[in-house]
Amino acid sequence: MNITFDTVSFKYIERPILDKASFSVSDNDKVGVIGVNGTGKTTLLKMIIGEEKPQGGAITISGGARINYLAQDSRFDPNKSLLDIIMEGSTKDNPIKDYEAISILSKMGFNDSSITTRDFSGGQLKRVALAKVLVTPCDFMILDEPTNHLDNNIISFLEKFLIKFKHGLIMVTHDRYFLERICSRMLELDFGKTYLYDANYSKFLELKADRLEREAKAEKRLKSILRTESEWMHRGVEARRTKSKSRIERFKELSKITFNESKSMDINSVSTYLGRKLIEIKNGSKAYGDNVLFNSFNFDLNRQDIIGVVGDNGAGKTTLFKIIMGLESLDSGELILGETLNIGYFSQHMELIDPEIRVIDYIKNDQNLIETLDGTITASEMLERFLFSKDIQYAKVKMLSGGEKRRLQLVHVLMKNPNILLFDEPTNDLDIYTLELLEDYILNFKGPVMVVSHDRYFLDKICNRLLVFNGKTIESSMKSFSEYLDSIEPLKAEPIKNADPIKPKHSSKRLSYMEQKEFDKLEARISEMDLRMSFLKSELKNSKNDYVKLMDYQKELDSMSEEYDEASLRYLELLEKVEN
pLDDT at 474: 92
Q: Give the separation between CA 127 and CA 54, rounded to whole angstroms.
A: 31
3-state secondary structure 293-321: EEEEEEEECCCCCEEEEECCCCCCHHHHH
Task: Report which DSSP code applies to 185.
Answer: E
Count of CB atoms within 10 A of residue 235's CB?
A: 11
What pLDDT was estimated at residue 1? 85
Q: What does each of the 580 residues of the chain score in pLDDT, given as a tens digit? A: 899 999 999 987 667 889 899 999 999 999 999 988 878 899 999 999 999 999 999 999 987 889 999 998 888 999 999 999 999 988 888 888 888 888 899 889 888 889 999 888 778 898 999 999 999 999 999 999 998 888 888 888 899 999 999 999 999 998 888 899 999 999 999 888 899 999 988 888 888 888 888 877 776 766 666 666 566 556 654 555 555 566 566 556 655 555 444 444 445 555 556 778 899 999 999 998 888 999 999 999 988 899 999 988 888 899 999 999 999 999 999 999 988 888 989 888 767 788 889 999 988 887 777 766 667 778 888 888 777 888 888 888 888 887 788 888 888 888 888 889 999 988 887 888 888 888 888 888 888 999 999 888 899 999 999 999 988 899 999 988 988 888 876 443 333 333 333 333 333 446 677 777 787 788 778 878 877 877 777 777 676 566 667 667 777 877 787 787 777 777 777 776 665 5
Q: How far apart are CA 368 and CA 349, in angstroms?
A: 24
Which ranges constitute the DSSP H helices of 234-351?
237-240, 245-255, 317-324
**Which tens digits make up the pLDDT trace of 338-384?**
888 889 898 887 677 888 899 999 888 877 777 666 677 788 888 88
Task: Give bridge partners of residue 337 from the DSSP assignment.
Answer: 279
pLDDT of residue 70: 94
pLDDT value at residue 507: 38
pLDDT of residue 257: 53
Cα separation, 26 vs 40, whole angstroms: 21
Spatial separation of the C-alpha atoms in residues 213 and 192, rounded to whole Å: 20
Q: How far is CA 248 from CA 37, 221, 231, 235, in A?
A: 41, 19, 12, 13
Give the pLDDT score at 48: 94
Give residue limits of the domains in the chain.
2-66+138-204, 279-488, 513-579
Decide if 120 contacts 74 (C-beta within 8 A): no
What's the pLDDT at 487? 83
pLDDT at 253: 60
Query: Which amino acid is it at 77?
Result: D
Query: How far is it, in rounded angstroms, from Cα 471 to Cα 287?
Result: 12
Beta partners for residue 194, in sequence order = 189
Fold of 2-66+138-204: Rossmann fold (3.40.50)
Q: pLDDT tens-digit profile of 268-323? A: 555 556 778 899 999 999 998 888 999 999 999 988 899 999 988 888 899 999 99
pTM, 2 dp: 0.69
Contact 48, 141 (CB under 8 A): no
The answer to whether residues 187 and 213 touch, using CB atoms and an 8 Å cutoff, is no
Please determine whether the domains at 2-66+138-204 and 279-488 fall in the same fold group of CATH.
yes
User: Could you tell me the fold of the domain covering 279-488?
Assistant: Rossmann fold (3.40.50)
Is the Cα dihedral 285, 288, 289, 294 positive or negative?
negative
Q: Which of 130, 147, 3 is nearest to 68 (CA)?
A: 130
Residues 6 or more apart whose CB falls under 8 angstroms from that of 534 comprise none
Provide the phi-psi class of 230: left if phi over 0, else alpha when psi is between -120 and 50, else beta: alpha
d(CA 184, CA 491): 20
Sequential DSSP letters for 107-155: HTT---TT-BSTT--HHHHHHHHHHHHHHS--SEEEEESTTTT--HHHH
Please give the pLDDT value at position 244.
57
